[in-house]
């Protein structure tokens, strides 16, 4: 395989006038420079690479100063310009760059960068970089449905964490593997692993990994239809987490749980907060997808179609794309567009099966059966439970206040 093939494929398939083309080209120039420098004997190699330095620095400097990757890429150029290259600095900068790519939904590019961080700067010199980069690689690869790469990355992270006695890193790997089980639809195994992770994180006071495990456990509850549990677990995760991106994702899923209970105004409040403030492009797409679903339930056909058009051209990962077609079909049925609805479900099932997304495939298959058996029926609307617990009403009220503050300042 060509080194950084994902970058070459992106550039070959993207018009040079597209906003992302030059940042990706600059990123490729820096990655190739890092490769070259990390392979060479340090002494005298800087002089031999002077043309590559100038080319990379020029490409990065030309980026808009507001571009989030500009400072990271310049940091990488500066780090490898030293005679004694600081491997730890290079590794952390590569991980930061990969996360920036994650924010904009460039999973393939991010996976390339996370893999490179471990290869050029990881164990044995910097084992924490190996652990961090492989956990990130496992998640990014899972988003693309690349199960083999994801499993190998988690195994590598687990091995290094065990070798150095990093209990927090080991538990992060367990949560990542549980998320893979969740995506595959193996809810009992995911639930068992997450409950164990939650107990261990609570006992040791590891708040960040506790928040991640609670969020994933809330997702299991949601998929089982236990929406009140999903709200409680999701809100506890939100209160526990410190990472802003993780909080955005938890808030979006909290909104989905409110929607499942029929509390659509609370759900909409949460989605609007996410759509206005989330750092991650993936989380914003997820919020938009759910706003599309709510628009259908509220019989707002024009708004539903507008959200659908926005998502149709977005670079959604396979799981989100499959759910897009499932929700698209539900709205099309609600508005009496049954032929379109059937085509959407067929497309969604193909994506789910191709990417081994068993839970989604089951949901789509059930929707296909429902559509074929009652083509003239309207979709049932979930009615809010009459006895919503006071604790959930309090959570809903707090989210309304947050939404008002977020939208007034945006």
pLDDT given at position 266:
80
Q: What is the pLDDT of residues 216-247, one digit of tens each?
A: 999 999 999 999 899 899 999 988 998 888 88
Sign of the alpha-carbon torsion through 20, 23, 28, 34: negative
- Overall average pLDDT of the 125-154 stretch: 94
pTM value > 0.85: no
Q: Return the SS3 of 297.
A: helix
pLDDT given at position 403:
53
Q: Quick check: 252 pLDDT over 80? A: yes
Give CA–CA dist 250/268, Å, rounded. Answer: 15
pLDDT given at position 407:
46
Q: Residue holding tokens 């550039």?
A: 11
Q: What is the pLDDT of residues 65-107, one digit of tens each?
A: 878 889 999 999 999 988 788 899 999 999 999 998 988 778 8
Q: Which of 101-105, 109-113, 300-304, 339-343 is predicted with the least confidence, judged by mean pLDDT?
A: 101-105
Q: Quick check: 380 pLDDT over 60? A: no
pLDDT given at position 400:
60
**Contact call for residues 371 and 338 (beta carbons, < 8 A):** yes
Give CA–CA dist 316/246, Å, rounded. Answer: 18
CA 169 to the chain's CA centroid: 19
Instruction: State percent of the chain over pLDDT 70.
Output: 89
Question: CA torsion 223→229→231→234, rounded to 10°?
Answer: -80
Q: What is the pLDDT of residues 162-196, one digit of tens each?
A: 999 999 999 999 999 999 999 888 999 999 999 99
pLDDT given at position 399:
62
**CA nearest to 333, candidates 382, 359, 368:** 368
**Other residues' Cβ atoms within 10 Å of the Cβ of residue 335:** 16
**CA nearest to 279, candidates 100, 23, 114:** 100
Give CA–CA dist 322/115, Å, rounded. Answer: 27
């Amino acid at each position: 395989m060509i080194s950084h093939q994902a970058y070459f494929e992106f550039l070959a398939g993207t018009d040079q006038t597209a906003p992302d083309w030059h940042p990706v080209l600059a990123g490729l120039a820096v990655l190739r420079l890092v490769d070259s420098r990390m392979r060479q004997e340090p002494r005298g190699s800087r002089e031999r690479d002077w043309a590559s330095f100038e080319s990379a620095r020029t490409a990065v400097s030309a980026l808009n100063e507001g571009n989030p990757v500009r400072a990271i890429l310049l940091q990488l150029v500066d780090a490898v310009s030293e005679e004694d290259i600081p491997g730890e600095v290079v590794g952390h900068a590569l991980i930061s760059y990969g996360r920036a790519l994650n924010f904009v939904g460039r999973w393939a590019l991010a996976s390339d960068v996370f893999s490179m961080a471990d290869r050029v700067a990881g164990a044995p010199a910097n084992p924490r970089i190996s652990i961090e980069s492989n956990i990130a690689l496992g998640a990014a690869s899972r988003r693309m449905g690349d199960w083999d790469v994801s499993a190998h990355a988690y195994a590598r992270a687990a091995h290094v964490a065990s070798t150095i006695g990093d209990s927090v890193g080991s538990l992060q790997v367990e949560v990542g593997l549980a998320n893979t089980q969740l995506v595959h639809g193996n809810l009992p195994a995911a639930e068992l692993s997450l409950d164990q992770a939650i107990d261990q994180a609570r006992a040791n006071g590891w708040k960040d990994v506790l928040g991640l495990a609670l969020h994933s456990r809330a997702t299991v509850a949601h998929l089982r239809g236990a929406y009140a549990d999903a709200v409680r677990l999701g809100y506890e995760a939100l209160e526990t987490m410190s990472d802003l991106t993780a909080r955005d994702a938890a808030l979006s899923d909290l909104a989905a749980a409110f929607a499942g209970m029929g509390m659509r105004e609370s759900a909409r409040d949460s989605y609007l907060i996410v759509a206005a403030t989330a750092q991650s492009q993936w989380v914003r797409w997820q919020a938009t997808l759910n706003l599309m679903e709510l628009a259908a339930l509220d019989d707002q056909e024009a708004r539903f179609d507008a959200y659908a058009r926005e998502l149709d051209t977005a670079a959604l990962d396979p799981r989100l794309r499959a759910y897009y077609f499932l929700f698209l079909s539900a709205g099309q049925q609600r508005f009496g567009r049954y032929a379109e609805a059937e085509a959407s479900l067929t497309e969604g099932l193909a994506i789910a099966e191709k990417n081994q997304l068993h839970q989604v495939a089951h949901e789509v298959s059930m929707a296909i059966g429902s559509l074929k058996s009652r083509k003239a029926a309207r979709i049932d609307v979930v009615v809010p439970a009459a006895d919503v617990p006071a604790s959930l009403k309090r959570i809903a009220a707090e989210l309304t206040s947050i939404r008002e503050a977020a939208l007034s300042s945006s």
